[in-house]
Amino acid sequence: AQSVTQPDIHITVSEGASLELRCNYSYGATPYLFWYVQSPGQGLQLLLKYFSGDTLVQGIKGFEAEFKRSQSSFNLRKPSVHWSDAAEYFCAVGAEGSGYSTLTFGKGTMLLVSP
């Protein structure tokens, strides 16, 4: 079964500083990988996704993520954080070839942005 680990429960970053949120997954085959963002009181919104091809994927709001198969990682990055980026971020993995597969989510990383 697939699993996702987000090692950081909370991260605080100064506005304008760079950001990296860590995500490690466990799955035997080629995974589909996702990052979602959840603002307070809202549902989850897809930031970006990796299915195949270029291992560096670009998403919305200036985010990017890099798939590293050797490290089983899919870390999320942003070069300059804005106060509006404060939210909870979820990494998720889906299974290849299983049709309408279910996603397994990490437990989330709460991003706090300081002035």
Partner 1 sequence: IAGITQAPTSQILAAGRRMTLRCTQDMRHNAMYWYRQDLGLGLRLIHYSNTAGTTGKGEVPDGYSVSRANTDDFPLTLASAVPSQTSVYFCASSGTLTGELFFGEGSRLTVL
| Residues making contact with partner 1 (CB under 8 A) | 9, 32, 34, 36, 41-46, 49, 51, 90, 94-95, 99-103, 105-108
> Cβ of residue 16: shortest distance to partner 1, in angstroms?
29
> Cβ of residue 5: shortest distance to partner 1, in angstroms?
11
> Cβ of residue 13: shortest distance to partner 1, in angstroms?
21
CB 100 within 8 A of CB 114: no
**Ramachandran quadrant class, 33 (left: phi over 0; alpha: psi -120 to 50; beta: rest):** beta
What is the Cα–Cα distance from 46 to 12, expressed in whole angstroms? 22
> Cβ of residue 80: shortest distance to partner 1, in angstroms?
27
Contacts of 66 (CB under 8 A, 6+ apart): 55, 56, 57, 73, 74, 75, 77
